[in-house]
Amino acid sequence: MSTVHAAFTHPESLRDIPFHYCPGCGHSIAHRLIAETIDGLGIRERTIGIAPVGCAVFAHRYFAFDMLEVAHGRPPAAASAMKRLLPDRVVFSYQGDGDLAAIGTAEIIHAANRGENITVFFINNATYGMTGGQMAPTTICSQKTATTLAGRRPACHGNPLNVAELINATAGCSFIARGALNTVPNILQSLTYIEKALRVQMENRGFSFVELLSPCPTAWGKTPEESLDWMRTEMIAAFPPGILKEMHGV
């Protein structure tokens, strides 16, 4: 059973200030889920989060615990160092697809392969949201972006990168899951994945990774409602939610 707080209570781990995110953006939901889980686990005073370069660059404004801002793509390296220096802390990185799957590919793969005892939350909205909606490594086939006006074509642009499956090929991971932030059942399932990932770290069982499929109405050129429909009909087919790896007693 989840240890998170009851619905409609404001998490202590989340400051009571308005988000800057666009209407319909999934970052606000992801922030709330992470904050609720940290409160439920009673680890706020020993949690350290690492904010990305991207739409969530101001995540340190919203989380009410220690946060570190690092260069684009480097959160896994910084998190690895932080956890090794302060092994009693719970350390997580919060990253988008441009941050983690493009410029930060080397960092995430090697941190996972080493089995660093950290947790990574990967927000996949299939686009570069902050810089104008360009094609990202996770942009799905036929998806139109600011740099693929006719849609992504594998013969020209390559195929979308399935990050969770790629990380699953490394040896050091103990928990890998993919959730979606488009329906209440999917959001609640994502909440359980976040809690499991943090528990893996608290039990010193190695690297844990949760990918969260997230709507981006502004970059997608859709209404919030249309974005949720597109996730259901297109995005989830390309990135199936579920647990990819769950190792016990490591």
| CATH code of the domain in which 178 resides | 3.40.50.970
What string of pLDDT tens digits covers the 250 residues of the chain?
455 444 568 899 999 999 999 999 999 999 999 999 999 999 999 999 999 888 888 999 999 999 999 999 999 999 999 999 999 999 999 999 989 999 999 999 999 999 999 999 999 998 887 777 788 999 999 999 888 899 999 999 999 999 999 999 999 999 999 999 999 999 999 999 999 999 999 999 999 999 999 999 999 999 999 999 999 999 999 999 999 999 986 5
d(CA 137, CA 69): 23
Closest CA to 116 of 72, 85, 94: 85
d(CA 184, CA 191): 11
d(CA 2, CA 18): 27
d(CA 176, CA 121): 10
Q: Do the domain assignments include residue 151?
A: no
Q: Do the domain assignments include residue 4?
A: no
Domain limits at 36? 27-131+163-246
Task: Please classify residue 156 by burial: count the beta carbons closer than 10 Å to its beta carbon, then call 0-12 exposed, 13-18 middle and 19+ buried.
Answer: exposed
Q: Do the domain assignments include residue 138?
A: no
The model's pTM: 0.94
> Which tokens hold the place of 133?
């909606």
Q: Quick check: helix, strand or coil at residue 191?
A: helix
Q: Do the domain assignments include residue 6?
A: no
Total of domains in the chain = 1
> Which tokens hold the place of 132?
């104008």
Closest CA to 62 of 20, 9, 14, 24: 14
Look at residue 112 in the predicted model and tell me its pLDDT. 97
- Only one residue has tokens 């719970």, namely 90
Q: Do the domain assignments include residue 158?
A: no
Give the amino acid at 69: E
Look at residue 147 in the predicted model and tell me its pLDDT. 86
